[in-house]
């Protein structure tokens, strides 16, 4: 058994190198953190602890370097003053208690006492969050396992889905390190509840659901909302923009637009020379209305996108007009139009 190889350090490793390697590996392979492969984890964990107990002690390490594992088993010098301390000591230093659990293997067999793991966030313990090991006992500064940058993936949504909301189930495949230290691929279904009003660029983070490399924490998986193009509407912030092309006669005389909304309603907008009246009838009076012209924009309040942070509120629908002019006019028609327009000032 090569203790240096078990701790993934070289033979010239310093006490600090060994200490850091042991802390990282012990946290990874503690049986309480490996429920699916607990037997393998227990064996791995015991090897890691035995390796540390030898290499952290200057006398035992010297015997091991000279004679190997047999030299240490045969007995050697007592622990040196100021040495790295045993595995129990180092965890007691970090956590205030020892998280190792060793079971007695039978009558007359020497075994470490079974102690309760301190994997909690209270008191002087420690906990694992998104960033790995995040707190230590006594404020000495705990080492965090490295974590690669987040993995981003597009979450394509239609405007209809972003208007009403939707739950999307995304199947992912990722590389993980199993309890035996082997790399494997696993699949999982992640559910994403898309809220009404979410915008392009909204990020949904699943901590630790990205790929994993040995001796590193799994990367976070981040879905980034992307908006699919729509046949009728274009989003502009919380507003919706639609294009309408009308004839010159409709631009001057008024018309009615019927639009299908993103939530399936039928929106009737009467365009009476620029005034917006949903369903009003022409009273036949002499009221003056603005004229629809190329580039004219008509605003329908509260018919835009939901505002995600202000439930119940919506942006506006903005309808931009293009006017189709006739290619030819009779002289009499041209004269009539001129007379009417001149009278309008």
The 10s digit of each residue's pLDDT in 46-70 is: 888 888 888 988 888 888 887 787 7
Q: Give the model's pLDDT for residue 339.
A: 87
Together in a domain, 194 and 290: no
* Residue-wise DSSP of 201-232: T-EEEETT-S---TTSPPPPEEEEEEEPP-SS
Q: Among 104, 139, 174, give the residue marking a domain's end.
A: 139
Query: What does the pLDDT look like over 219-262, one tens digit per residue?
Result: 999 999 999 999 999 999 999 999 999 999 898 888 899 999 99
**For residue 278, what is the domain's CATH number?**
2.60.260.20
Q: Is 144 within the bounds of a domain?
A: no
The DSSP 8-state label assigned to residue 337 in this structure reads H
Helix (H) / strand (E) element for 295: namely: none
Same-domain pairing of 76 and 164: no
Quick one: 95 and 63 in the same domain? yes
Verify that 192 and 83 share a domain, yes or no: no
Residue 305 lies in a domain: yes
* 15, 55: one domain: yes
Confirm whether 262 is domain-assigned. Answer: yes
310: in domain: yes
Question: In terms of domains, do 23 and 113 share one?
Answer: yes
Three-point CA angle 340, 342, 345, nearest 5° = 115
Q: Is 154 exposed, middle or buried (0-12, 13-18, 19+ CB in 10 A)?
A: exposed
Domain that holds residue 275: 233-343
Domain with 79 in it: what CATH number?
Answer: 1.10.287.110
Q: Whose structure tokens read 């107990």?
A: 53
Span 170-220, pLDDT tens digits = 999 988 888 777 888 999 999 999 999 999 999 999 999 998 887 788 999
In sequence order, the 6+-apart residues with CB closer than 8 A to the CB of 19 are 56, 84, 90
DSSP 280: P
> Residue 188 has which token pair?
């999982």
> Are residues 125 and 106 in contact, defined by beta-carbon separation less than 8 angstroms?
no
119, 139, 159 — which closes off a domain? 139
Distance CA 87, CA 104 (A): 18
The pLDDT > 90 percentage for the chain reads 38
- Tell whether 275 and 214 lie within a shared domain: no
Indicate the number of domains in the chain.
3
Residue 74's pLDDT band, with cuts at 50, 70 and 90, is low
Specify whether 330 is located in the same domain as 252.
yes
166 touches 157 (CB < 8 A):
yes
Final residue before a domain boundary, out of 94, 119, 139:
139
**Residue 105 falls within a domain, yes or no?**
yes
Share of the chain above pLDDT 70, in %: 74
Nearest to 201 by CA among 224, 227, 168: 224
Q: Are 262 and 159 spatial neighbours (Cβ–Cβ below 8 Å)?
A: yes
Same domain assignment for residues 120 and 163? no
Closest Cα partner for 29 from 50, 59, 54?
Answer: 50
């Amino acid at each position: 058994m090569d203790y240096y190889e078990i701790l993934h350090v070289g033979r010239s490793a310093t006490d600090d190198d060994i200490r850091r390697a042991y802390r990282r590996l012990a946290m990874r392979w503690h049986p309480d953190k490996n429920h699916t492969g607990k037997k393998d984890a227990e064996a791995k964990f015991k090897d890691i602890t035995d390796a540390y107990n030898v290499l952290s002690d200057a006398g035992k390490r010297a015997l091991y370097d000279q004679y190997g594992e047999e030299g240490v088993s045969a007995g050697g010098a007592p622990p040196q003053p100021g040495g790295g301390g045993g595995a129990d000591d180092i965890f007691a230093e970090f956590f205030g208690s020892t998280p190792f659990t060793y079971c007695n293997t039978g009558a007359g067999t020497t075994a470490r006492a079974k102690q309760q793991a301190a994997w909690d966030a209270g008191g002087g313990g420690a906990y694992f969050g998104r960033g790995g090991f995040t707190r230590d006992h006594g404020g000495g500064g705990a080492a965090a396992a490295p974590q690669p940058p987040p993995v981003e993936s597009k979450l394509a949504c239609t405007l209809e889905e972003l208007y009403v909301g939707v739950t999307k189930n995304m199947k992912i495949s990722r590389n993980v390190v199993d309890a035996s230290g082997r790399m494997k691929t696993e699949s999982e279904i992640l559910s994403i509840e898309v809220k009404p009003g979410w915008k392009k660029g909204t990020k949904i983070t699943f901590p630790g659901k990205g790929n994993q490399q040995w001796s590193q924490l799994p990367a976070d998986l981040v879905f980034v909302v992307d908006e699919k193009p729509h046949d009728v509407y274009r989003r502009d912030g919380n507003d919706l923009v639609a294009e309408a092309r009308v004839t010159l006669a409709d631009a001057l005389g008024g018309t009615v637009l019927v639009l299908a909304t993103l939530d399936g309603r039928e929106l009737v907008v009467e365009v009476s020379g620029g005034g917006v009246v949903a369903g009003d009838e022409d009273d036949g009076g002499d009221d003056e209305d603005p004229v629809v012209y190329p580039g004219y924009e008509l605003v329908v309040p509260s018919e835009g996108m939901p505002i995600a942070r202000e439930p119940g509120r919506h942006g506006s629908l903005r309808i931009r007009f293009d006017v189709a002019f006739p290619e030819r006019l009779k002289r009499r028609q041209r004269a009539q139009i001129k007379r009417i327009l001149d009278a309008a000032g």
